[in-house]
A = this chain, B = another copy of it.
Amino acid sequence: MQSTHLSDLRPATAQPTGAEAGRQRQGRLWSNLREVCDLLHIPTTNIPSSDELLFQHVQFKMGQRVHTIGQAFDTLFVVNSGFLKTVLIDEFGNEQVLSFPMKGDMMGVDGIHTRHYASEAVALSDCDLILLPFRKLAALGRAHTELENLLYGVMSRELVREQTMIGMLGALSAEARVARFLVSLADRFAAMGYSSKLFNLRMTRHEIGSYLGLTLETVSRTLSAFNEVGLISVDQRTIGIKDADALKNLRRLPPSRSRSRQRARAEATAAAASVGPAVQLATA
């Protein structure tokens, strides 16, 4: 696995992958405050689109690390394009996935407290990130109330997200967790302007399982089961959402016996009634 630290990276010089926002200057991509706020979905009542104050973009390739645990903190990141995961590494080297940041999400907030990042961020695809030097940002917040609200708001939003996650891990069945995970992905894709009905997973079953507190086999089986009952369609990493409402409210599926009994019954009806089993199995 390749790994790259900030200091190793030369900022993008060529065409960026996602060229929605930003401008070239000194052969690099930059965004102004207004664009950053828009990206974060923060109402920007009166932030001017001035180009006085610009924030630099940096590109990461799939598999590269944006920051690692314990690394000195000084900047926050906003995802402009691409997909990532953030993970905790436990005392035995096991990864615990904490989130799957994508366009409009902020990363690095967990570094503020101790001045060192508490988690690790890895690119799951090629990514374009905007760097927000924290000290500079906080200083700016003193002048612009909107920006100050942005910071507090984003941190609070992240906190609420994690609370919801805790509630989910503490109370829901495997099936309900996977269902809500799919719905939440669909919603986020919708918010980014993509289809919420058909999308590609950017993460492995193992990463999904880690995120949801399940094994990869359980994730796989659950997706298959959803597919079987027509809630979704699954083809490798391509997911089609068939019944979003049912997924949202799902507590658990009827037991698999009853599903297979239904199938068995359907098959059996053709082959008439009372034929004994061909082979008598040992039952003790």
CB 8 Å contact bits of A28-50 with B (1 = contact, 0 = none): 00000000000000000000000
- Known interface pairs A162-B162, A163-B98, A282-B91. Does A110 touch B169 (Cβ–Cβ under 8 Å)? no
Interface residues of A in 124-154 (CB under 8 A from B): 138, 141-142, 148, 151-154
Are B163 and A88 touching (Cβ within 8 A)? yes
A contact patch SS: helix
Are B118 and A213 touching (Cβ within 8 A)? no
Chain B nearest CB, measured from A162 CB (Å): 4
Are B213 and A90 touching (Cβ within 8 A)? no
17 new A-B contacts at CB < 8 Å, known A118-B160, A158-B159, A166-B169 = A88-B163, A88-B164, A92-B284, A96-B171, A98-B167, A112-B156, A113-B160, A118-B163, A119-B163, A138-B152, A155-B159, A162-B162, A162-B163, A165-B166, A169-B170, A170-B211, A171-B213
Interface of A toward B, CB cutoff 8 Å: 88, 90-92, 94, 96, 98, 109-114, 118-119, 138, 141-142, 148, 151-160, 162-167, 169-171, 210-213, 282, 284
A-B contact pairs, 15 of them (CB 8 A): A109-B155, A109-B156, A110-B156, A110-B159, A113-B153, A113-B154, A113-B159, A138-B148, A142-B148, A155-B156, A159-B159, A159-B162, A162-B166, A165-B166, A170-B210
